Amino acid sequence: MISANQALLRLQEGNLRFRSGGTSANEIDTANRNRLVVPQTPFAIILGCSDSRVPAEIIFGQGLGELFVIRVAGNIVAPSQIGSIEFAAEKFGTRLVVVLGHSMCGAVEATLEQLVRPTESRSPNLHSIVDRIRPAVQPLIDSYTTENSSELLQLAVRRNIEASVANLLHGSAILEDLVENDGLMVVGAEYCLESQVVEFLVDA
């Protein structure tokens, strides 16, 4: 299995290929489909949003068998997501985890609306998603003074990505151990719907 840094470079190259209109790195022909019968070896784990405009394999220019993808509204971190990532990291030796948020995220926008103008939730299940996003964006509501709602949403999307990364880094003893001792990297990334660019939030 390739290293976390090698996997990150592969995703960056794939996003560039996607933006330039190139095909995926793994054409879905008969030979490749047959190859996937053997055990999978995804080189990156992606925790992304369920938004129909942000399919990870496509925006990263990858094909079948390349990515282990978990999708949930708002790219939130809950026990099932953590367990899925633990499984892939241990089972397949995958050493890169990317929390992939995106501009104009509907789940983050719904959370902001609920904080500014609380309403009775029609669905406790939907409310559980809002509750997981709330801690990351509540401080923005408390301190933000501008009326520019798009700017507020942009900041909230970024804060939510960062919170999900922190929840993965500190919410699992298994992942903590892999980060500390076995080369696992957990990073955030934000996909811009307008430009199709994925910005990786990696410390210099």
Asked whether residue 149 is domain-assigned, the answer is: no
Which residues have CB under 8 Å from 129's CB, separation 6+?
Answer: 72, 73, 74, 76, 107, 111
**Domain span including residue 13:** 4-104+164-201
Would 125 be classed as within a structural domain? no
Q: What is the DSSP string of 76-89?
A: ---HHHHHHHHHHH
Q: Does residue 86 sit within a domain?
A: yes
Evaluate whether residue 82 is within a structural domain.
Answer: yes
Which residue has better confidence, 125 or 60? 60
Does residue 85 sit within a domain? yes
Q: For 78-131, what is each residue's pLDDT tens digit?
A: 999 999 999 999 999 999 999 999 999 999 999 998 888 887 766 888 889 999
pTM summary value: 0.91
Q: Which of 15-24, 126-135, 174-183 has the lowest mean pLDDT?
A: 15-24
Quick: pLDDT tens for 123-177. 888 889 999 999 999 999 878 765 678 889 999 999 999 999 999 999 999 999 9
Asked if 68 contacts 42 with a C-beta cutoff of 8 angstroms, the reply is yes
**Domains contained in the chain, number:** 1
- In a domain? residue 54: yes
Q: What is the CATH number of the domain that holds 96?
A: 3.40.1050.10
Q: Do the domain assignments include residue 170? A: yes
